[in-house]
Structure 1
């Protein structure tokens, strides 16, 4: 009887694995994936199902099952506002201040925090338990005590790095902290790998700082550092701030289950071209808007395409678009670091 029970259990497990394999392979083929990635998942599920199936259930997702409404609307808007030419917009449309060093970005953050009168909304992937992270959280706490509404959204993957003592004081003063997708909440939904890498800071709904810099010593600080990543951020004003606010509110509502008041409506006469537009992308949006925007702009470029990126591993379509641009006389230049934090990406970039 025991032997029969074991055989039945083994057959049931085998049947379950077979059904899961068929379902997951269908899911892989349905998703918009690079050919190599899709082939690797299918091969793994077929040859090593007991290993690949749990991995796919934890890390195989590309999109959330439920998209966020405010970003979905922004997604449709972005396609209608992609620049139709490359003439610079009038200076009154949108102002930009490039923050080309960690010191300038840190100084701008502190200044904007200290000058805020109504609200501060910050989204970051990394908040360091270091001099930079502690100083910024302390400055935010001071604004909370002055009556400013401050919201801080941090991705959960590296939340263990946050300055815990300073955050406790921040929350005790009335500040709000939310963690984006806590890992232990999402173990088998295929979404543990869908992290939030956005860096957005909004001050009084009028000024935004966006770019690649996290709030940590390795990205910014009061003093120069040879060990710091070379990155870039920009402080902007104008209609794009309202677009960035929609993205933040959607992420906050998803993470904190709390709706935030919309920022004041952007001013747009309908006759002035914009020098800045926001193209959101991510696992909560249908398709890949940034990918599509790059592809369209590569094909549309007439004079130059200058790219500076830490990781350069374009797929065949993007690479072909750049090759075609070169052949039609466009000045194409790509700047990559000699050494990044991902050796595999360095090898792909050549």
Structure 2
């Protein structure tokens, strides 16, 4: 055997053995582990390299510390100690477990506390805002009125017309002496040819990219993205949801919006948790700058009880997935879901099926035309499993809907940045905000029902009538769902 061929074989074999060793110790999803093992064995050189770049959770290892020996490695999931259930803990700073005058479901309240260890915070107000026409003016007005601090995180921050208005507003706030900080995801920053981060720095603003990809050396974090959207102003009110900063969310005279979305304005004591989450991300992305402006905790502004549930490939791994699965499993009346990307895990599929079998009304609204066509292909491969148990699924017409909503029974709503796919719930840094409020729940459910009225219901016959080639394509793409 040629010595070079032998050397090449030994290099690949050694790299593959290391990758398999790491896989067996860290991966608890057997399907993902088996897929990675096959890739590492059968794809020379590129297989182990791909695993090194995309298969290792470096965020969690960094959070846990790196001083580990070869045979002293941590398990992929952290040692979680469930929080104890007490009325005081569930009610935050209040002794009664109420949202307004109506008691909310303490079973649902207990779930988020057990998973996150965070108490509910009373005295908040959460308002739904539809599309950029309502969201952006409210955000810009808040920035213009800021007196102490403006902290903004966005996955995508384009340098188009609305992006430039944000840059000017942030610059003006900084010139007034307001502490302005901006985080833009490193991959999301690539969506704009002229980088907003460059324009912000040119204005003298403090801005950082979250894990920006690099070619040399190859980025080891390219698969881990910050998908959160947060704007906090003076620690008194905030804006969260799924909306990026882009003209795509706006109607212009000669250009209609290509994306519909919903964002939320939040005021009250829970804003302090959102500001703290921004500071956590800023410290991680910036590395050493932890200085923050000392702002008082926001006073009570409403009657809604809220809890922030961060999620990411760090200590908060699986927090949102477990919360969503459990609240769906606990539903007694209805579950309403609106999401742009629907590729749930087997556990979440089982929770949805279980709810429907118990007689809970389950409605899922998806976009008819997805901006990521392969996501549409992939989810069609699993919809029949839900339709068989009388889950109602609807495709809403264009434009593409980017809204993320989960409403359970009459008082529980989960809003934020997360999609119901494994990339979002396993690889991205996301945020969810639980809101216990009958009024907000009713408003969001009414919105879902209004969309359903102009949507097309998905039937088993439609899925079964796909041609063999289309079904093969959908099945093949579905197999890649953990990586889409």
Aligned match of 2:56: 61
1:236 equivalenced with 2:266 (yes/no): yes
Give the whole-Å Cα distance in 1 for the aligned partners of 2:146 and 2:253.
24
1:329 equivalenced with 2:391 (yes/no): no
> What SS does structure 1 have at the residue aligned with 2:281?
helix
Q: Pairwise mapping of residues 291-306 of structure 1 onto structure 2 (< 5 A)?
A: 291-306=321-336
Aligned match of 2:292: 261
The answer as to whether partners of 1:68 and 1:254 remain within 8 angstroms in 2 is no
Assess, with a 3 A threshold, how the Cα gap between structure 1 residues 262 and 62 changes in structure 2: closer, same or farther: farther
Give the whole-Å Cα distance in 2 for the aligned partners of 1:182 and 1:346.
28
> What SS does structure 1 have at the residue aligned with 2:332?
coil
Aligned match of 1:121: 151
1:28 to 23, 27, 44: 23
Give the whole-Å Cα distance in 1 for the aligned partners of 2:270 and 2:42.
48
The answer as to whether partners of 1:129 and 1:161 remain within 8 angstroms in 2 is no
Give the whole-Å Cα distance in 1 for the aligned partners of 2:136 and 2:84.
33
Aligned match of 1:99: 129
1:46 to 41, 44, 51: 41
Displacement of 1:129 in angstroms is: 1.8
The answer as to whether partners of 2:279 and 2:290 remain within 8 angstroms in 1 is yes
The answer as to whether partners of 1:103 and 1:223 remain within 8 angstroms in 2 is no
> What SS does structure 2 have at the residue aligned with 1:336?
strand
Assess, with a 3 A threshold, how the Cα gap between structure 1 residues 121 and 77 changes in structure 2: closer, same or farther: farther
Give the whole-Å Cα distance in 2 for the aligned partners of 1:261 and 1:68.
25
Assess, with a 3 A threshold, how the Cα gap between structure 1 residues 279 and 106 changes in structure 2: closer, same or farther: same
> What SS does structure 1 have at the residue aligned with 2:40?
helix
Deviates more, 1:87-96 or 1:286-295: 87-96
Unaligned runs of 5+ in 2: 66-79, 102-121, 381-484
Aligned match of 1:152: 182
The answer as to whether partners of 1:149 and 1:175 remain within 8 angstroms in 2 is no
Aligned match of 2:100: 90
Assess, with a 3 A threshold, how the Cα gap between structure 1 residues 90 and 217 changes in structure 2: closer, same or farther: same
1:214 to 216, 240, 244: 244
**CA root-mean-square deviation:** 3.3
2:12 to 17, 22, 25: 17
* Count of aligned pairs between the two proteins: 336
Deviates more, 1:136-145 or 1:24-33: 24-33
Assess, with a 3 A threshold, how the Cα gap between structure 1 residues 314 and 167 changes in structure 2: closer, same or farther: closer
Structure 1: 4+ residue segments shifted above 6 A:
75-84, 221-224
Assess, with a 3 A threshold, how the Cα gap between structure 1 residues 325 and 268 changes in structure 2: closer, same or farther: farther
Displacement of 1:93 in angstroms is: 1.6
1:109 equivalenced with 2:105 (yes/no): no
Displacement of 1:76 in angstroms is: 8.2
2:170 to 140, 143, 150: 140
> What SS does structure 2 have at the residue aligned with 1:285?
coil
Aligned match of 1:72: none
Residues 316-335 of structure 1: CA deviation (Å, up to 9, x unaligned):
11111111111112111100
Assess, with a 3 A threshold, how the Cα gap between structure 1 residues 167 and 289 changes in structure 2: closer, same or farther: closer
1:192 to 222, 230, 241: 222
Residues 208-232 of structure 1: CA deviation (Å, up to 9, x unaligned):
1111111111134777953421111
Give the whole-Å Cα distance in 2 for the aligned partners of 1:103 and 1:213.
12
Assess, with a 3 A threshold, how the Cα gap between structure 1 residues 211 and 342 changes in structure 2: closer, same or farther: same
**TM-score under structure 2 normalisation?**
0.62
Residues 243-268 of structure 1: CA deviation (Å, up to 9, x unaligned):
21122111111111211327646479
Q: Pairwise mapping of residues 155-174 of structure 1 onto structure 2 (< 5 A)?
A: 155-161=185-191, 170-171=200-201, 173-174=203-204
